[in-house]
Chains A and B, each alone.
Chain A
Amino acid sequence: MKILVCISKTPDTTTKIAFKDGNTQLDENGVQWIINPYDEWYSLVRAIELKEKDPSAIIHLVTVGGADCDPIIRKALALGGDEAFRINADSADSYFIAAQIADLANKNGYDLILTGKEAIDYNSAAIGGMVAELVGAPYLSLATLFELSGNTATITREIEGGEEVATVDLPVVVSCQKGMAEQRIPNMRGIMAARTKPLQVIEPAAVDTLTSIVGFELPPAKAGCKMVAADNVAELVRLLHEEAKAF
């Protein structure tokens, strides 16, 4: 079985977001870069668990980005995975990224492609669905459990107001979230091994970019929190009802 895990580099969850150059660029000053948590905690660790059960499985990692992504992909290799690909291009928009990943997938032929449920920078939750469409595979999003029996996967996924269980034959694309696996920390053996694992830098396929970022905005500053005394709960409820019209 061949598994492809898609890895994205994102700012740490605690990053205070600021912009520069007339609000057209993220101000990267002081930003800590991490593996997108959904990619790391859930899709990568679940792939590693599948390989622990079936040592013949091969795990490939892919990211789309410049050389500044190498520390992230090395860290992912330290957790697990056999080989990584970095497609050497700016990650311009969802379609561009998905088309690059699909191009690699169509060449290498994977049984299972895993993504996080979304990246915490652009929150589009689009890559999994687009890759699935471009490789012609079914797509199960927001998966919380993934079990494999032979060639058939049983997937539990979140739906509005509950969950559903689905079965599907491989190949399949799955987006992963909490429940799939437990977060792991790379150990020293993994970190040493990651140094010698192959990381291939490949040039991007010719793909159009369909969208462009005009600029960024920060949300308008809040007017401030209106504090109500603890012995005047009726006033809080009155404000919510009459001023905020919130119920």
Chain B
Amino acid sequence: MSVLVYIDQSDNHVKKSAYEVLTYGAKLAAQMGTTAAGIILGKVNDNLAELGKYGVTTIHQVSQESLNQLDTQVAAKIIADAAQAIGATVLVFSQNHSGKAIAARVAARLKAGLVAGAAGLPDTSNGFVVKKTVFSGKAFANISINSPIKVIALNPNSISAVAGEGSATVAELNISVNAPKVTITAVNKITGEIPLTEADIVVSGGRGLKGPENWGVLLDLAKVLGAGTACSRPVGDAHWRPHHEHVGQTGVQVAPNLYIALGISGAIQHLAGVNRSKVMVVINKDPEAPFFKAADYGIVGDLFDIVPQMTAEIKKIKGIA
């Protein structure tokens, strides 16, 4: 009985979401009176022993370079085999792009009950009940996992990574690796931008900006905050901004610490993609905009006046000239 955490990597570095799931796995292990270990596939340039500061004792690595290109079928077999080899009974993933695909495969392979989109630690006082978001963030469901092996995929940004002291033992796992069936022929990363799903702060614009030529005020604000930039569906559909910036029910779902909505009315489909944000700020000239009902802070007014003032005030606080 132990906890095994999948450590996601990209470009030879451990991803930010991995620190969250390592923290989660360590806390869960403490709650269950057991230990947590991590598993990482492929080669990375980071010092894996340092991941011990998140509370895991061992990092199992399968360091074949071919594993840096993800084939979920190959990865799921390795992780499931590793879980059985070390006797892990709870597996933890991030519910991020790759994590949700691998978690589902591993759960099916091990015939393990899955809670995908967990919002917090399980209640283990009577059984094993995990809270997850449902109906696109409009509600939560408490799900009991009834199988001996359990798989949890944790929503990104639902807990904070907590680094303490400690060092983990890094051990190479001796597991047979199947040949991949998927060949990755190109990777196009959007350079110079903060990935939306990993951003602590997101600044988002809607039709209230009136046209793509007006995005400068939003970009200036995002720059001083170190924020990711997003947009509403009509803006994406009109090609004012690239598709990948569209947040909402049918776009990207985000859960940053701070979400600033500029000129977005707040249709229910938009809210479904952003309602897990911790603090929501709305600037809109229409006092009847539904977004004000969901927001924490708001100003009714002309965003073209207000946003440059916000940028200037934030610069003052941050001491940026």
Contact = CB atoms under 8 A, between A and B. Distances in A.
B144 A212 contact: yes
Contacts of A111: none
Contacts of B197: 160
Interface in B124-153: 129, 131-147
A160 B244 CA distance: 10
Contact of A161 (B102, B185, B195, B300): B195
Interface stretch (B29-37, B45-53, B276-284): B276-284
A52 interface: no
B310 interface: yes
Interface string A130-148: 1111101111111000000
B321 interface: no
A161 B198 contact: yes
A101 B72 CA distance: 19
Contacts, number: 281
Contacts of A53: none
Nearest to B185: A165
Interface residues of B, number: 95
Question: A interface, by DSSP: helix, strand, loop or mixed?
Answer: mixed
Contact of A160 (B96, B116, B268): B96
B135 A11 contact: yes
Contacts of B107: 94-95, 126, 130
Nearest to B181: A138
A192 interface: no
B188 interface: yes
B201 A236 contact: no
B182 interface: yes
A125 interface: yes
Interface stretch (B162-170, B206-214, B290-298): B290-298
Given A14-B268, A132-B72, A211-B143, A126 B298 contact: no
B186 interface: yes
Interface residues of A, number: 83
B92 interface: no
Interface in B252-285: 257-258, 268-269, 272, 275, 278-279, 281-282
A137 B302 CA distance: 53
Contacts of A161: 10, 189-190, 193, 195, 198
Interface centre among B71, B190, B251, B296, by most A CB within 10 Å?
B296
Contact of B108 (A98, A142, A233): A98
Interface centre among B15, B137, B186, B281, by most A CB within 10 Å?
B281
Interface of A: 11, 13-15, 17, 19, 37-38, 93-95, 98-99, 120-134, 136-142, 154, 158-169, 175, 177-179, 208-219, 222-223, 225-230, 233-234, 236-241, 244, 246-247
14 contacts: A19-B139, A123-B116, A126-B116, A138-B181, A160-B10, A160-B98, A161-B193, A162-B189, A165-B188, A216-B140, A222-B296, A227-B292, A233-B299, A237-B310
Interface of B: 10, 15, 71-73, 76, 95-98, 100-109, 111-117, 129, 131-147, 181-190, 193, 195, 197-198, 201, 225, 243-244, 246, 249-251, 257-258, 268-269, 272, 275, 278-279, 281-282, 292-302, 305-306, 309-310, 313-314, 317
